[in-house]
Amino acid sequence: MTTYKLTYFDMDGGRGEPIRIAFHAAGIAFEDERLSFAEFQEMRTSVRFNCVPVLEIDGAQVTQSNGISRYVGKMAGLYPDDDLQALYCDEALGAVEDASHRVVSTFGLEGEALREAREQLVDGWLSVYLRGLAELLARGGGEYFAGGKLTVADLKVQGLTHWLCSGMLDHVPTDLVQKVAPTLSEHQKRVENDPRVVAYYASRT
C-alpha cells in the first residue's frame, strides 16, 4: 500500500491546502506534517529547492505545489481528463502561483517600505492577476475554472482570494477582490461551501 506524507507549514491555506483537501476528498490517508516557520528554517536546506510543500511517496520526495496538486487532484477527481480543460486548470494554477510570488516578495519589508510596496501591488500586479483570473472564470462558464466542476484550480484560487481578504496582509484592502473582480468573491463562497471542502475543515476540528 502506497504511503504519503505531506510536509507544509502549520496553517490553513497556502500552497499546501489544495493538496490536503484533495487527499481528504479522495479518501486517501496521508501524514500531514505541519511545520512552524522556525522548524522550517532549521530543515529547509535539507529539502530540494529549499521549499515546501514536499510530498513523500513511499519515502521518495517530490516538490512543486502545482505538480503535486495535479497528481493528488487526479486521484480525487479534482483534475480534468480533457486535455483542453486540463490546460485551463493549469493556467489558473500558474497565475495564482505568480500572484503569490509577487506578494511574498514584500515579506521582510517594514514601515514605509512595506506600505509603498503593497500599495504598488494593489494598484498594479494584484489587480492585473485578479482581473485575469476573473476572465478565466468567465471562460470556464462563470462558476468553475475548468470542466464545469470543482478542480484543484478552484481550490488554489480560493486560497488566494481568502488570503487577500483576510486582513493578514497589511496595506492590502480586505475588499480588494470584491472591488476588482467581484465574480471571484462569489467563487470563493462557492468553493468554501462545497461539501468536500466543508467536510475537510470539519475533520480538522
Q: In CATH, what number is assigned to the domain containing residue 8?
A: 3.40.30.10
Per-residue confidence band for 177, with pLDDT thresholds at 50, 70 and 90 = very high
Residues 96 and 169 in one domain: yes
Instruction: Work out the average pLDDT over 147-167.
Output: 97
Q: How much is the pTM?
A: 0.96
Beta bridge partners of 60: 57
Q: Could you tell me the residue range of the domain that residue 13 belongs to?
A: 4-77
Residues 111 and 131 in one domain: yes
Please give the Cα distance from 65 to 168 (Å, whole number).
22
Q: In the predicted model, is pLDDT for residue 57 greater than 90? A: yes
Q: In the predicted model, is pLDDT for residue 205 greater than 90? A: no
Q: How many domains does the chain have?
A: 2
Residues 183 and 87 in one domain: yes
Q: In the predicted model, is pLDDT for residue 89 greater than 90? A: yes
Residues in contact with 34: Cβ distance below 8 Å, sequence separation at least 6, in sequence order: 8, 9, 10, 11
Residues 96 and 184 in one domain: yes
In this prediction, residue 136 carries a pLDDT of 98
Residues 60 and 132 in one domain: no
- Is residue 201 situated within a structural domain? no
Instruction: Work out the average pLDDT over 76-97.
Output: 98
Q: In the predicted model, is pLDDT for residue 27 greater than 90? A: yes
**Last residue in a domain, options 77, 97, 118:** 77
